[in-house]
Chains A and B, each alone.
Chain A
Amino acid sequence: MARVVVDVMPKPEILDPQGKAVLGALPRLGFSGVTDVRQGKRFELEVDGEVTDEVLASVAQMAETLLSNPVIENFEVRVERGEDA
């Protein structure tokens, strides 16, 4: 078993109202020094067996097809090794 992580973020040029809401809340709670917040999604995919290039390519395809909307979002695929988890 291995874990493949897909991070999905709104593209830099796309307005992120949720990130703006969080940014606005921080100073109200007394946290200072944060100049911007972008909010994205993290998907953790548990996959069977070795994470081969083929598996990664397949996950990238999942990310492009379903997990993200390439019109407004970018994604990154990475493997999370057991010992790092």
Chain B
Amino acid sequence: MRVGVVTFPGSLDDADAQRAVRIGGHETVALWHGDHDLLGVDAIVLPGGFSYGDYLRCGAISRFAPVMTEVVDAARRGMPVLGICNGFQILCESHLLPGALIRNDHRKFVCRDQRLRVENVATPWTSAYKQGSEITIVLKNGEGGYVADEATLDRLEGEGRVVVRYLDDNPNGSLRDIAGITNDRGNVVGLMPHPEHAVESLTGSGTDGLGFFASLAAATFA
């Protein structure tokens, strides 16, 4: 598959995301925030970082970057889209995913290996995992507290749209320990932890994140 990784001004993890995509067995295509063009990709990753310096709100300016018009259209047509950390914030600001991310309740930046449970393996980004698998991947954010109103949270839970949930300590005050969610169609996934930093045993906490990038092939060719 050809997987586009969007670079915004202030993206930090685009190179790691591209690398994870390649290790997952795909071709990466660099997409530029200022272009109205997805270059024919089959899936899209919005990487982590501090796009537009997190000015106004995290992801608020990126949402209106030229490339996002195409990303939103493609997502609505069913193209797999994965938003990691700042990418998750952008997906929420774009209304592709419900809710919002606010400053961590303890007001400190958190950077640690985080245990998670994968609770939805029906998305194109998580189909390589077993339902309920417990994985450890890096989490690093200052504004990762997931919030939504009670009705939205109940709907997410009821429809099985919580994709990953924090285990052990809740690292940022996210309601109901939610670490990542999907849209009602299941093609758009956003999460605060960074699976792209956990794809090689040489660095980081292990290879538990690789499933996010290996899933894509399984989902497409199934």
Contacts and interface: CB of A to CB of B under 8 A. Distances in A.
Interface of A: 10, 13-15, 17-18, 20-21, 66-67, 69, 71-72
Nearest to A71: B100
A20 B173 CA distance: 14
A20 B106 CA distance: 10
A15 B173 contact: yes
B105 interface: yes
A15 B147 CA distance: 9
B109 interface: no
A13 B150 CA distance: 11
Contact of B100 (A20, A67, A69): A69
Nearest to A14: B147
Contacts of B149: 13
A18 B60 contact: no
B145 A69 contact: no
B33 interface: no
Closest 8 A/B residue pairs (Cβ): A17-B103, A71-B100, A72-B100, A17-B107, A21-B107, A69-B100, A69-B57, A17-B105
A42 to B, nearest CB: 13
A18 B100 contact: no
A71 B148 contact: yes
Contacts of B92: 71
A62 B93 CA distance: 14
Q: Which of B100, B102, B103, B107 has the most CB of A within 10 A?
A: B102
Interface of B: 56-57, 60, 64, 92-93, 98-100, 102-107, 145, 147-149, 173
* B interface secondary structure, majority: loop
Given A71-B148, A72-B147, A14 B56 contact: no
Given A17-B102, A71-B99, A72-B100, 9 more contacts: A17-B103, A17-B107, A17-B173, A66-B56, A66-B64, A71-B92, A71-B100, A71-B147, A72-B147
A14 B148 CA distance: 9
A10 B175 CA distance: 16
A51 B190 CA distance: 41
Contact of A17 (B57, B60, B104): B104
Contacts of B100: 69, 71-72
A69 B147 CA distance: 12
A25 to B, nearest CB: 12
Nearest to A24: B107
Contacts of B64: 66
A69 B145 CA distance: 15
B55 to A, nearest CB: 11
A20 B147 CA distance: 17
A78 B7 CA distance: 37
A13 B152 CA distance: 14
Contacts of A72: 100, 102, 147
Contacts of B93: 69
